[in-house]
Amino acid sequence: MVRTGLAQKALELKGITKEFGAVKALQGVSFSIHKGEVVALLGDNGAGKSTLVRCIAGLYAPDQGEIHVNEQQVTIRTPQDARDHGIETVFQDLAMIPDFDIASNLFLNREMLSKNPILRWFGWLDQQGMQKRARKSLNRLNSRLPDFSAKVSTLSGGQRQAVAIARAVNWGADLVIMDEPTAALGVEQSAQVNELIKLISSQGVAVLLISHNMQHVLETCDRAVVLYQGRSVADVAVSDVSKEDLVALITGAKVAA
């Protein structure tokens, strides 16, 4: 897959460092993602991927370094800070409530209140408005879902991922971070998620993809950034490397040119 990202950088990290006591989880990590680009964040267990994602998502505060969003330096100390700057994260557990319907999960903690001022004062929700916007958001992703009143527990793994991605994009995200989105999915459902990633990137959204599936990376991503022992050791175009090259970079058996 060959695709050129837009000129504007959605995210740029400069010298991100994070320590936990004597453990140096991140040591001066730097890279950038342009709007419309899909970049894989790769590394073995303990390489620092999760710590870095938590720094971007506002769960950890970096000890040193700069985070730039849309080419402006920002301070991200909380998840709300990240969301305010257009950064949404789809974690592996999807953070959804199985017994809630699709629209309720799409608007979880961001519910629309009734337009009627009296009902709004009492905290009544605009269920019809949320259903309408949920349908619009999922239609944007060409997702075929059952009745929007269906509980999330009745959906397939691929359909749940579609809801999680739609929730992220629904809030005007400039950058969507996805943590192992196909880890628990079959071949067909994984292919559906790949298409969703390509679709949102074609709409100008930058995607940072954490994955151990090298085939998934080769099929979906434009570039790959590799972390090794807390350092960024490679930033390569996916079209220039093989699956074996990526594995060698991840394990430290190969050094990027």
Tokens of 222: 């434009």
Residue with tokens 């969301």: 83
Q: Which residues pair with 69 in a beta bridge?
A: 11, 72
Q: In whole angstroms, give the CA distance from residue 237 to residue 152.
A: 37
Q: What is the pLDDT of residue 1?
A: 41
Residues listed for the chain: 257
Prediction pTM value: 0.80
What's the token pair of residue 153?
A: 């527990």
Q: What is the pLDDT of residue 157?
A: 74
Any idea what DSSP says for residue 238?
G
Whole-angstrom distance, CA of residue 233 vs CA of residue 73? 24
* pLDDT by residue, tens only, the chain of 257 residues: 444 456 789 999 999 999 999 999 999 999 999 999 999 999 998 899 999 999 999 999 999 999 999 999 999 999 889 989 999 888 766 567 778 887 777 777 676 666 777 776 777 777 777 777 777 766 666 666 666 677 888 887 777 777 777 777 766 678 999 888 777 667 777 777 788 888 889 888 999 999 888 888 998 999 999 999 999 999 999 999 999 999 999 998 766 65
The SS3 call for residue 235 is strand
In order of their start, the domains of the chain are 1-86+173-257 (3.40.50.300), 100-170 (no CATH)
Question: Which residues does residue 179 pair with via DSSP β-bridges, in sequence order?
Answer: 210
CB burial class (10 A; 0-12, 13-18, 19+) of residue 65?
Answer: middle
Query: Which is nearest to 71 in space by CA: 44, 97, 33?
Result: 33
CA 161 to chain centre: 11
pLDDT given at position 143:
64
Residue 2 CB neighbour total at 10 angstroms: 7
SS3 168: helix
Q: Of the candidates 229, 224, 237, 243, which has an alpha carbon nearest to the alpha carbon of residue 41?
A: 224
Query: Residue holding tokens 């267990």?
Result: 45
Angle, vertex CA 144, rays to CA 143 and CA 147, nearest 5: 120
